[in-house]
Amino acid sequence: MKAAPVDLAVGDISEDRLKILTPHPAAPDPMTDVVVQLVEHFKWTGPVGVTFPGVVRRGVIRSAANVDPSWMNVDADAMFSKATGCEVHVVNDADAAGLAEMRWGAGKDRNGVVLLLTMGTGIGSALFVDGKLVPNTELGHLELDGHDAEHKAAASARDREDLSWKEWSHRVQRYLKMVIGLFDPELIIVGGGVSRRSGKWLHYIDVDVEVVPATLTNEAGIVGAALVSTMDNAPE
């Protein structure tokens, strides 16, 4: 779990990030303790944005595929706000990254259908139509070879199975062809840690859609969370 203050005038973090290992189990109470530590470290008293790897509706957790199942139906907005004493808004992690990329990054001024995919431990997704977010798409759970696609094509699969960049990119291409067939995007932005290493794999991707690395790389989630914390029409 990581945090940083963000300068929303330019869409960038204004201090070095602080990282704290995610507790195990990744359950509400221990994760709330970490959120409090992160907020207190920066002596922060303003609005706070928090991202979550699952479906979030009006601050309530509606899926928990990659964290402890005890998160289901927890009002995370209320829990984090009470614990930190700040006004907290929780949003899907990929949606936050997508909002940042559409405001300041690779999706800036792009209309039509734009899809951001974060390739990390899992695959997160953020879908935009003419700049408007369609929240909580969670396209990493589409089926690929009888499994959730993120189990086969996320960056973690490359590490887990010791795949070469070329081998892994072939899996990514098959996944991209599947989402292209469903949504026909005009642009796909690939975020997460692999966006910083796009030179090792992006040239292997051959699809009929423009595919680019995220401009904000893996800072996009933090920047997007800060943006959401100040939005009057935050994603619901």
Mean pLDDT of the residues in the chain: 95
Residue 114's closest CA among 102, 96, 100, 97? Answer: 102
pLDDT in tens, 179-233: 999 999 999 999 988 999 999 999 999 999 999 999 998 789 999 999 999 987 6
pLDDT in tens, 145-155: 899 999 999 99
Q: Is the pTM of this model over 0.85?
A: yes
Domains of the chain in start order, with CATH, are 2-93+220-229 (3.30.420.40), 95-216 (3.30.420.40)
pLDDT in tens, 64-97: 988 999 999 999 999 999 999 999 999 999 999 9
Residue 31's closest CA among 63, 3, 10? Answer: 3
